[in-house]
A = this chain, B = another copy of it.
Amino acid sequence: MREVAVLGLGQTPVGEHWDRSLVSLAGEAALGALNDAGVDRPDTLIVSNMLSGTGTGTQLNLGALIADWCGLKGLEAYKAEAACGSGGAAFRAGVHAVGSGLVDLALVVGVEKMTQTPGAVTTAGLATAADGDYEAAHGPSFIALNALVMRRYQHEYGWKHDDFAPFSLNAHANAARNPYARLHQPITREEYRRARMVCEPINLLDSSPIGDGAAAVVLAPADRLARDGHRPRVVVAGSGAATDSLAVHDRHDPLWLAAAEGSARQAYAQAGVGPEDIDFFELHDAFSIMAALSLEAGGFAERGQGPRFALEGKILPKGRLPIATHGGLKARGHPVGATGVYQIVEVARQLWGAAADNQLPGPRVGMAQNIGGSGATVFTHILRIA
């Protein structure tokens, strides 16, 4: 497969865009990425979205709709979906499309519009990421499944709720400097401790906020020049994907993200690197427990020791492995089907040195990991400066 590079990026702020339609958000990010790349017309459009077909005012066939809105009538387009992992799925499909040589320029757009959908519909919609017959049908919401995992994890490894605070504090601190983030308030340990309980032991500040937003990436063969000739060339060094049982109770070990481990292992092998070579990690911190488990599955922390890694300050911008450098799902926000593309945007911005107030000092290798369901469908991508 020929090498694939990230040529351009676009994103909208994550928020409650009451006055915006799904297609206008997607279009803004898409046109932004095309302009950033200096590309008038890509060869293919791959959209990621989770919920536009669920609930009221539904719309499928988003590819054709978004292509047309962008003035790209005729363009090949379809949607990739893997629940909250949809963005990672679409990005990987784009890497395959360009890597195969069948197309030269792929536009990947992640979009989600969750406001104007009643809360009960949203809760039911998010539960479609879990096993409909053996989990959702029995009542638990998606957060409840994660709460069961977190409670068990605390029981097995002896962590107190307070030990998860660094994940949330770091994410909020980073989001405060990111104009595209949904939440801009830094939080204190005391605020974390006293936050309203959502589903025990997960409280409000363990939880990522949903939202509306879109992010987009233009992929091209690595020898294609970007509009901005001063940017370092950022290539997709590794791409991995794996799944686990959709139902948490069917897994060999509910406290181990086997699919995250498997997809990371593939990405490491393809890139010829190991965890020690990763400079920063945009992980899928939908809940603070997921951040801890992702650090372990990625080989950064020992099993059961994700919180220690955070408590030691290693996840901070100046730590060993900065995570959620733009705020993560926790504070940049989690527009579910778009999140995986936001992560790629954030990794590339860091590697280009274009992360503004969120810039890390000279990173060369970054990893993004996007998860659909409570660890069921995982896509891991390693980007590096060529």
List of 7 A-B pairs having minimum Cβ-Cβ separation, nearest first: A100-B100, A76-B241, A78-B89, A64-B243, A59-B132, A61-B83, A60-B128
Taking the closest CB of chain B, its distance from the CB of A142, in whole angstroms, is: 11
Residues of B within 8 A of A50 (CB): 60
What is the size category of the interface that chain A forms with chain B? 35 or more
In the complex, A241→B44 CA distance in Å?
A: 9
Check B128 against A74 for contact (C-beta < 8 Å). no
Binding-face segment, A217-225, A355-363, A370-378? A370-378
Please tell me if A65 contacts chain B, counting CB pairs below 8 Å: yes
Q: Out of B51, B79, B128, B246, name the residue touching A64 (CB < 8 Å).
A: B246
Check A60 against B77 for contact (C-beta < 8 Å). no
Taking the closest CB of chain B, its distance from the CB of A335, in whole angstroms, is: 15
Taking the closest CB of chain B, its distance from the CB of A58, in whole angstroms, is: 5
Residues of B within 8 A of A60 (CB): 50, 54, 81, 83, 128-129
Please tell me if A73 contacts chain B, counting CB pairs below 8 Å: yes
- Chain A residues close to B by CB (< 8 Å): 1, 21, 44, 50-51, 53-54, 57-61, 63-65, 67-68, 73-83, 85-86, 89, 92-93, 95-97, 99-102, 124-125, 128-133, 137, 239, 241-246, 250, 258-259, 262-263, 372-373, 376-377
Q: Out of B57, B131, B259, name the residue touching A65 (CB < 8 Å).
A: B131
Which chain B residue lies CB-closest to A98? B100
In the complex, A214→B363 CA distance in Å?
A: 47
Copies of this subunit:
2
Check A100 against B89 for contact (C-beta < 8 Å). no
Q: Could you say which of A44, A82, A95 has the most chain B C-beta atoms within 10 Å of its C-beta?
A: A82
Taking the closest CB of chain B, its distance from the CB of A17, in whole angstroms, is: 16
Task: List 30 interface pairs A-B (beta carbons < 8 Å), by A numbering.
Answer: A1-B100, A50-B60, A53-B125, A53-B128, A58-B124, A59-B131, A60-B83, A61-B81, A61-B130, A63-B82, A64-B246, A65-B246, A67-B243, A68-B244, A74-B243, A74-B262, A76-B242, A76-B263, A77-B241, A77-B243, A78-B80, A78-B86, A78-B92, A78-B241, A78-B372, A79-B89, A80-B81, A93-B97, A99-B101, A100-B101
In the complex, A68→B53 CA distance in Å?
A: 24
Given contacts A61-B81, A78-B86, A78-B377, 14 further A-B contacts (CB under 8 A): A53-B53, A54-B58, A58-B124, A61-B246, A61-B377, A63-B377, A65-B131, A65-B246, A68-B245, A77-B241, A78-B85, A79-B89, A93-B97, A96-B102
In the complex, A86→B47 CA distance in Å?
A: 13
In the complex, A296→B8 CA distance in Å?
A: 39
Which chain B residue lies CB-closest to A82? B78
Q: Out of B83, B241, B244, name the residue touching A73 (CB < 8 Å).
A: B244
